[in-house]
Structure 1
Amino acid sequence: MADLKVGPVLGVEAETAYTVVFSTATDVQAAEWVVGGTTRPCKIVGSTPSSTVWGGERTIAAPAGKSGKEVSYQIKLDGEVATCGNGRTQWAFYVPGKGEQPTFAYGSCNGFSDLALMHKTENPYLLWQKMEADHAAAPFSLLLMGGDQLYADSIWTSVPELQEWNALCQDDKLSRSANSIMRPQIDKFYEKLYQTRWTDPSMSLMLASIPSVMMWDDHDIFDGWGSFPDELLGSDVFQYIFQTAKKYFEMFQIRSRFNASLLDKTADHYAFGFSFRGYNILALDNRAERTLQQIMSSDQWSALIAHLDTVTKGHLLVLSAVPVVYRDFSFTESLFDATPWEEELTDDLKDHWRSKNHQGERARLIHRLLKNAARRKAEEKTVILSGDVHIGCIGVIHDQARGVKVHQVVSSGIVHPSPSRLQWLGIMAATNDRTEYLDEAQDIRISMLTPFASDQYIRARNFVTLKLGTDDKLWINWQSEGKDEPSYPVE
């Protein structure tokens, strides 16, 4: 039997460029993507200790009218039809027509930070089941995933050599190398992670049925990556873990350096951008180059600015895993900066865009997005899509002088539970969401909004759908496991 170990995971990299990635046993000699009745050879894009990773691509033009089309496909391995881990041998995806408004789904935080949370969650994949039902009723054109597509935090307890390393004092940790025993253990950990975490029947079907784009966040590496002291980030063990996580992210989420949407195929970052049915999709890589002093390198900034200069029409959807508009942690951060416990709080405080070391970059990003929004037509929307914080919400950046707005939608998590009531009360007590002004003239106002039919913060697992309505508003609907049905029209 020709079995797939991971996938298929469907993707899109340009207006008509559809792709697929999957892994097989190492003895497979040839793989083919049979899509829309046409057979195309796949190429090897990487390998893991027990598998070969393959990628395929196909140009599929949109139908000329207002109706789309369904395109079916199969994978063949050495001439035999392949079967995924859930027993499927055939899949299909929807290509919207040229005159049709696309429908997007967006989700993040697709996993659990610890096993206790999983055991306490009655139906871990409920929202994937809901997405499957929604997709069957009215197909999604594109699935955007904004970080933490899987959780690698168990690496510290699952890898024997890392358990031993954890027990060392700080100086010994920094001087210890990732030895020949540790390295294959780390590699096999990430291999198993990808082979086991995307196997839920509904989740695997959606990843194979809705073309997706993905950008990573810290849990795709491990909790808090990039917000540790420089000497720890630069240590041999941390760097080997990062490079291994990066290899797997590149193969399965970016679908290799052959990805046509990457802004710079030779860079250390994975920022990408492309246009799709009247929308510009732009993803910021806020992890590959993150330190306590920066979120994005000067090279990534140059690539982003150059790309934004080409975006002169259409709506703009920007993926930023950590929210740009959110509650302010800066006062709490300043208190802990004066204590010996700062390092323990890096994930909660130093990760945020409003952390004191990142405020300048945040202002630069906001100004660039506002400038781009002003250059495009007033009726074209700019929306930042974020996750990370395990609640849903919406905020707005309003440039009154230029008469433009940038909205931000947070959807989190599609699997990870929201904070408990006690945890949320603690967050509320340690933060604030007062209106913020970004300039001296107070022309740029940043504030949180309240979705319709909901509290201001949606403390329930969720994903969002986005579609332009007949009223020319981009309707955001949080698909939540809570009793409310939150929505908001972006004007």
Structure 2
Amino acid sequence: MTTMLGPVLKFRGVVEDAWVVSILLAHPVASFPDVSCLDSPVHFTPLGSRTEDGVDYDIRSYAIHIPQTDAQREITYRVGARAFSLIVPPTGGAPTCAYTSCNGYSDPKVVKKIKDLNAMWSRMAERHRQRPYNLLLMGGDQIYSDAMWEKLPTLKEWGRLSYDERNLAPFTPDMGAEVESFFFTNYLSRWSEPAVAAMLASVPTAMMWDDHDIFDGWGSYADAQQDSPVFKGIHAIAKRYFELFQLHSSTDAPCALTLPGQPGHSYGLRVGEYGILALDLRSERTPKMVMGAAAWEAAYAWLERQQHCKHMLVMSSIPVVHPDFSTLETLLCAIPGRQELEDDLQDHWLSHSHRKERLRLIHRLLEWSARKECRVTLLSGDVHVGALGVIESDRKDVPQNAGVINQLTSSGIVHPAPPAMALFYLEHVGDRVEPVDRDITATMYPFPGTSHRYIGARNYLSLEPDLPGESPENPQKNRIWANWWVEGMDEPYTKTIHAVGKG
């Protein structure tokens, strides 16, 4: 087993013109390193401890507050004898971001032909050296936990029970001990792989979980399964480790960014004229609901408080705009690995039971965008392809081009693309225009300069705002250049996201 994890950076927001970052370490207590930063005092918070394979571990976070200046700054911090750096944007400056999802795989057979599992992480590091990323947005499936069903003896034994017996069986202490060990070691081993660890130590993250951070399909099972003691016991442990490693929080040190008045983990961030709203689409999910009323109201209340915002990035782990897969179900019987695709279908926003909730979300975002004159862009993953979706409203009483919400889907940075037959199907249904509501449509658009709508290869997304002086003809354009960096391609697919009213 990997003996340590970290540093892992998390962005905690801008506070009084200071770039606030926490540094997480999971390390044997006997040799825990010191953490220091010349540009900031270091504030230590204990998050937890665990004994694994006879070794006592501490999990700790260290907060640093870096004053922003008129220019971008490179900041060095130290963990023991090792030096690391991160790039802090200027005061009020737009952040350059990377976005990823699907950092793993469910079926080992799927990745046997992949020579370098983390090739796209290495590609991200190359780009980071050319134009540094200020933030790393991670939109779900930061780990894959599905292997526990085959690896853990108690769960394998439980799986041999009948359906009704499984739903009634208790979550035993032995099960709990095995699942705890599995999640702890899974985070340590996956995030300590060199290419992954290098980026987690160099770019502050903003993460939100999805099903594989718990297990495949969480929230979309029948009530009897979802409410079973074993499912609930696994979820409680997965939740604790999500909070610990992805949010750098614990029961005694809750995440300050979490929106008040909700049972989940949705949170919001502001960086200059940019906002980021990360929606928790897993904590309350059932076959009939994605988020509860209190969670939606918390998200909308946070949006209402935002002023002078030019771009709002809304992280929705599941794509809001995507083809309706209902006619694909019979085709799946002929596709190897179909079970994972079938699980994704049950999660989809276009599932019949989620359509009303999706419609309300679309209406609220369009109305907010028009009223606040702020461009809303959805960031999504999950589906193992890159894609560009567009929601369009024909309302006439709104500012220039406010009735457009782009959705940028990037998936996965590690998980390979679906089978060729599924990609063929996607391309052939991708030109359909969905009538969302009166005068509102949703469409999968071809990538600019191409004739295809889907990237059938591993990829990640970068969001690169106009640099100062980059648009001398109009220095106030406030554009975002969305670039999909694709395995096996030298140049990215590019989409320009304009601010509202800027053409």
Task: Report the residue type matching 1:213 in the other structure.
Answer: A
Aligned-pair CA distance for 1:189: 0.6
Tell me which residue corresponds to 1:71. Answer: 75
Task: Pick the aligned partner of 2:21 from 18, 23, 36.
Answer: 18
Aligned-pair CA distance for 1:346: 5.5
Tell me which residue corresponds to 2:45. Answer: 43
Aligned-partner Cα distance in 2 for 1:428–1:452: 15
Aligned-partner Cα distance in 2 for 1:197–1:221: 15
SS in 1 for 2:8: strand
Moved more, 184-193 or 118-127: 118-127
Structure 1 residues 323 and 234: alpha-carbon distance in aligned structure 2, compared to 1, 3 A threshold: same
Task: Report the residue type matching 1:112 in the other structure.
Answer: Y
Task: Pick the aligned partner of 1:268 from 249, 252, 263.
Answer: 263
Structure 1 residues 345 and 468: alpha-carbon distance in aligned structure 2, compared to 1, 3 A threshold: closer
| Structure 1, gaps ≥5 residues long | 76-80, 83-88, 337-341
Task: Pick the aligned partner of 2:485 from 479, 483, 490.
Answer: 479
* CA deviations over 1:349-400 (Å, ceiling 9, x no partner): 21000100000110111111111101222xx421100000011011111122
Task: Pick the aligned partner of 1:397 from 387, 391, 395.
Answer: 391
Structure 1 residues 334 and 382: alpha-carbon distance in aligned structure 2, compared to 1, 3 A threshold: farther
Percent identity, please: 37
Aligned-partner Cα distance in 2 for 1:42–1:206: 22
| Structure 2, gaps ≥5 residues long | 333-337, 472-476, 499-503
Tell me which residue corresponds to 1:419. Answer: 418
User: Contact conserved, 1:147 with 1:215, CA < 8 A, in 2?
Assistant: yes
Task: Pick the aligned partner of 1:383 from 377, 390, 394.
Answer: 377
User: Contact conserved, 1:312 with 1:375, CA < 8 A, in 2?
Assistant: no
Q: How does 1:309-388 map to 2 (within 5 A)?
A: 309-314=304-309, 315-332=311-328, 347-377=343-373, 380-388=374-382
Structure 1 residues 129 and 334: alpha-carbon distance in aligned structure 2, compared to 1, 3 A threshold: closer
SS in 2 for 1:446: strand
Tell me which residue corresponds to 1:254. Answer: 247
Q: How does 1:89-108 map to 2 (within 5 A)?
A: 89-98=82-91, 100-108=93-101
Aligned-partner Cα distance in 1 for 2:464–2:381: 19
Task: Report the residue type matching 1:155 in the other structure.
Answer: M
Task: Report the residue type matching 1:17 in the other structure.
Answer: V
Task: Pick the aligned partner of 1:290 from 285, 300, 323.
Answer: 285
User: Contact conserved, 2:101 with 2:410, CA < 8 A, in 1?
Assistant: yes
Tell me which residue corresponds to 2:67. Answer: 61
Tell me which residue corresponds to 1:339. Answer: none
Aligned-partner Cα distance in 1 for 2:453–2:331: 27
TM-score by length of 1: 0.89
1:279 paired with 2:279, answer no
Tell me which residue corresponds to 1:458. Answer: 455
Aligned-partner Cα distance in 2 for 1:241–1:139: 38
1:173 paired with 2:166, answer yes
Structure 1 residues 116 and 102: alpha-carbon distance in aligned structure 2, compared to 1, 3 A threshold: same
1:185 paired with 2:178, answer yes
Aligned-partner Cα distance in 1 for 2:22–2:269: 14
Aligned-partner Cα distance in 2 for 1:114–1:103: 33
Aligned-pair CA distance for 1:180: 1.7
1:129 paired with 2:125, answer no
* CA deviations over 1:92-111 (Å, ceiling 9, x no partner): 10001126442111111111
Aligned-partner Cα distance in 1 for 2:464–2:215: 33
Tell me which residue corresponds to 2:4. Answer: 5
Aligned-partner Cα distance in 2 for 1:130–1:388: 20
* CA deviations over 1:398-437 (Å, ceiling 9, x no partner): 12213421110000111111112133235567x6551122
Count, aligned residues: 464
Aligned-partner Cα distance in 2 for 1:143–1:345: 27
* CA deviations over 1:143-164 (Å, ceiling 9, x no partner): 1000011111101001110001
* CA deviations over 1:33-80 (Å, ceiling 9, x no partner): 3123544241111233432211121222211x2x311111113xxxxx
Structure 1 stretches of 4+ with a deviation exceeding 6 A read 333-336, 342-345
* CA deviations over 1:437-482 (Å, ceiling 9, x no partner): 2223xx2121111212442111111111112234533211111113
RMSD: 2.3
TM-score by length of 2: 0.87
Aligned-partner Cα distance in 2 for 1:195–1:95: 27
User: Contact conserved, 2:431 with 2:445, CA < 8 A, in 1?
Assistant: no
Aligned-partner Cα distance in 2 for 1:60–1:361: 40
Tell me which residue corresponds to 1:205. Answer: 198
